Chain A
Amino acid sequence: MNFTLKVWRQKNRNSEGRFESYTATNITPDMSFLEMLDAVNHDLVEKNQEPIAFDHDCREGICGSCGMFIKGRAHGPQKGGAACQLHMRSFVDGDLITVEPFRAQAFPVIKDLIIDRTAFDRIMQAGGFVSVNTGGVPDANAIPIPKTIADEAFSAAACIGCGACVAACKNASASLFVAAKVSQLALLPQGQQERKERVEAMLAQMDKEGFGSCSNTYACEAECPKEISVSNIARMNREYLKAALG
């Protein structure tokens, strides 16, 4: 298979970027999207040109490093997967594929397709935890949790922090990301003590980082590689309201 790529190239945080065209040749359908980029980069290095910089690591859809928009969609044309899990069999031979970084004011571009998502870390630092120190905790089975609740908490906790929800949202809202953590800990008995403070602190930090508001388009859920449900946002809003009402 052969493809034409239009890839966003940007030297650094302060410079202006632009699209450049490349051709990807001799690509096989079983190659992953990142392996296709590896092949393009291999050719670029052989021509002594700088390869396309992109974040990647586990290449199995769990580390959350992938941060690119492919053919106009976060993580490309697939449901429930990160860019590293996208295979070239999802494209048609000869396709023109546009590749650009996730766009959001809170995610500045560092270079080419690499973005700075440390805003997510700062939101977590503001309240995405249960305040327990190491040691001195009760036996694990001393805290029974109904299976349905544990499963629901797990589904929210499966978030990989990639930022596709922000990139897909026209408001660049981080609501789904924040809601996933708020929801996980609001569902579980361990999270009850700091329930009020947590949702307030995390949402305050979210606003501070420059993410937009949620206007219920559900684009986040549609593009989430872990298919995290927007019902978590509803839960977060209820938590926030409850906290505000004291």
Chain B
Amino acid sequence: MTLDAKIPDGPLEKKWDTHRFNLKLVNPSNKRKYHIIVVGTGLAGASAAASLAELGYRVTSLCYHESPRRAHSIAAQGGINAPKNYPNDDDSIWRLFYDTVKGGDFRAREANVYRLAQVSGSIIDQCVAQGVPFAREYGGLLDNRSFGGAQVSRTFYARGQTGQQLLLGAYSALSRQIHKGQVKFYDRRDMMDLVVIDGQARGVIVRNMINGELETYIGDAVILATGGYGNVFYLSTNAKQSNATAIWRAHKKGAFFANPCFTQIHPTCIPLASEHQSKLTLMSESLRNDGRIWVPKQKGDKRSPKDIPMEERDYYLERLYPSFGNLVPRDVASRRAKEVCDQGRGVGSTGLAVYLDFADAIARNGKQWVEEKYGNLFDMYQRITGENAYQTPMRIYPAVHYTMGGLWVDYNLMSTIPGMFVLGEANFSDHGANRLGASALMQGLADGYFVIPYTIGDYLATNKFKPVKEDHEAFTESKKAISEKTEQLMSAQGKRTVDDLHKELGKILWEHVGMARNEAGLKKAISMITALRKQFWSDVRIPGKANDLNPELEKAHRVADFMELGEMIARDALHREESCGCHLREEYQTDENEAKRNDKKFAYVAAWEFGGTGKAPKLHKEALKFENVHLTQRSYK
């Protein structure tokens, strides 16, 4: 199979408009004849389900939460980018496009990124029309702030709760369609499998999480908007339930998985305090606007930060990158934090932290100013650490946050399975090897509000759909396979809890497939994961019953998939013999320890085809063509 990204011809600026004109339409009265299943209700899923229902399609929306509003998009803090140029600092679609391609270290498709930049302005308009209370200036107009990897202020925000407000906006649009009966919504349903009939995605099997029953949903197309897979590391900033099961099971049904090793480690998280910790908490990147990052110049300097004089501090980001300073992209900030900690200059009891200091901002603008801008983040920090960051610098350390990799999709957001579309973090499309801050909300909503409503119409208009019923053998076989898997998990009756096994997987990945990777470590990780997976199936213990609300069983299904996905991440990282963005191979660095790409050999998307559990997946390459930007060594100096 050769991968066809279906990127339209013509100049970059015209591609999307030309493409939209060429897409076939479904006439308004025919739309009600089509039935679309949307799995997930985060920004991408909720916006897609609402927008498609508004057009007249019949939509089934499914999520594993109790309510659509609990999806993890709700936790995004910082903001959403759009090149409105309201601050008059010379922003433009082109500049956002360029920053994003460069920030992603030239491993994203030009055409996708340009489209994203083009539609991002409409997202802000849409959200404001819904009543999203963005931050405003005294004159009543919208306020912007700056984020990493950009030298303009293009980030719209709603205090430190932008994701919440945007999700509640999409949720309100979805709620309106549920009320109208145009969307049928089912809560507490966990997707267990994708069903493909005659080469088309035609439905899903879900587990009703209250009674354990397997249910069938049939449609003419399936949209997965099920988020990223950062929880494969066990500790991450993701919500506890965030998982890869929907995309992984679709992968096993034929959807290629692209760039799995591109996992983002976010620089500003609250450091790990102890072994029992269940998750890590992000502090918004916006803090880097006014907070200054430093460590002591001397190794092992255990003095309290206030006793370390200015000349004995190393503001290493400002020193290394004078033009971007503390606002370098996430991958760079994380790598440098690890580097200073590895040198023994880390702070706090574990030595795995750096300071993020607001003393200068407070001296310059006053405590009240800082409080107004970041108050909720300071409160959150105090709640978790018990420390007052107005008086002593915050301690931060990188943590797994976002996955740029995901299911491969073409320009229409369709996977390699016809009729299965993938939106938001679940796909791989727009961020290359590193995502810039405030771009995830932008991409999720772009996919849901402004891309899928057009592209899915073309698929529906140009394909024929045989009527299928629940008793079709594809559904019964899928249900049987899931039941067998459940039975196998329940009957193992081993000695270890799901969480124990998951933690062990996470440690392997963090150590060998985390912020810095090398050949020996990756090979070791693959063999360790293979052994652990075997142990998982024989040694897991799940109490209770399968036909009941059983959180241990829910977790076990998810961790079973992480055990397979983890191996693929390591394999992808091993095969990519270059450094790019967040993927740092220690063997490939510049003299200044920056990521050293190999554009000759690796300027492609690595799309993996499932080869069977424990067997090597097959690599397919989608070459990346850069016709509009010049490939350079990223420089933020």
Contacts and interface: CB of A to CB of B under 8 A. Distances in A.
A170 interface: no
17 contacts: A45-B552, A46-B495, A59-B240, A59-B281, A60-B281, A87-B384, A110-B549, A121-B69, A130-B130, A132-B129, A134-B47, A134-B50, A134-B54, A151-B133, A153-B133, A160-B74, A190-B128
B520 interface: no
Contacts, number: 213
B129 A138 contact: yes
A134 B66 contact: no
Contact of B278 (A35, A53, A89): A35
Interface stretch (A95-103, A141-149, A215-223, A230-238): A141-149
A141 B384 CA distance: 38
- Report the 10 A-B pairs with minimum CB-CB distance, sorted nearest first: A144-B140, A129-B172, A137-B129, A154-B133, A125-B179, A134-B51, A57-B239, A140-B128, A125-B175, A153-B133
A34 interface: yes
B273 interface: yes
Q: Output the residue of A62, A146, A150 with the most chain B CB within 10 A.
A: A62
B128 A56 contact: no
A16 interface: no
A157 B165 contact: yes
B210 interface: yes
A6 interface: no
B142 A141 contact: yes
Nearest to A127: B179
Contacts of A137: 125-126, 128-129
Interface stretch (A25-33, A68-76, A206-214): A25-33
B386 interface: yes
Nearest to A27: B276
B506 interface: no
B36 to A, nearest CB: 15
Interface in A3-46: 12, 28, 30-32, 34-35, 38-39, 42, 44-46
Interface of A: 12, 28, 30-32, 34-35, 38-39, 42, 44-46, 48-51, 53, 55-65, 80-81, 85, 87, 89, 110-111, 114, 116-118, 120-121, 124-126, 128-135, 137-141, 143-147, 150-151, 153-154, 157-158, 160-161, 184-185, 188, 190-191
A114 B549 CA distance: 10
A190 B129 contact: yes
Contact of B383 (A50, A85, A110): A85
A154 B159 contact: yes
A59 B278 contact: yes
A161 to B, nearest CB: 6
B139 interface: yes
A84 B462 CA distance: 49
Contacts of A191: 131
A85 B385 CA distance: 11
Nearest to A48: B543
Interface residues on B, range: 35 or more
Given A85-B383, A150-B136, A124 B131 contact: no
B138 interface: yes
A44 to B, nearest CB: 8
Interface in B106-153: 122, 124-131, 133-142
B66 A116 contact: yes
Nearest to B86: A141
A26 to B, nearest CB: 9
A61 B379 CA distance: 12
A138 B552 contact: no
Contact of B176 (A38, A45, A129, A140): A129
Contacts of A51: 543, 551-552
Interface in B60-76: 65-70, 72, 74-75
B211 to A, nearest CB: 9
Contacts of B75: 58, 60, 62-63
Contacts of A62: 74-75, 161, 164
Given A56-B240, A128-B172, A130-B129, A45 B497 contact: yes
B544 interface: yes
B44 to A, nearest CB: 13
Contact of B66 (A44, A60, A117, A147): A117
Contacts of A126: 179
Contacts of B164: 62, 158, 160
B168 to A, nearest CB: 7
B72 A57 contact: yes
Contacts of A125: 175-176, 178-179
A42 B178 CA distance: 39
Contact of B125 (A39, A59, A139): A139
Nearest to B170: A134
Given A134-B51, A145-B140, A157-B165, 10 more contacts: A45-B542, A46-B497, A59-B281, A128-B175, A140-B134, A147-B140, A150-B140, A151-B133, A158-B159, A161-B69
Interface string B350-379: 000000000000000000000000000001
Contacts of B542: 45
Contacts of B134: 140, 150
Nearest to B242: A57
B230 interface: no
B138 A147 contact: yes
A143 B70 contact: no
Contacts of B84: 140-141
Contacts of B139: 144
A141 B85 CA distance: 11
B499 interface: yes
B125 A31 contact: no
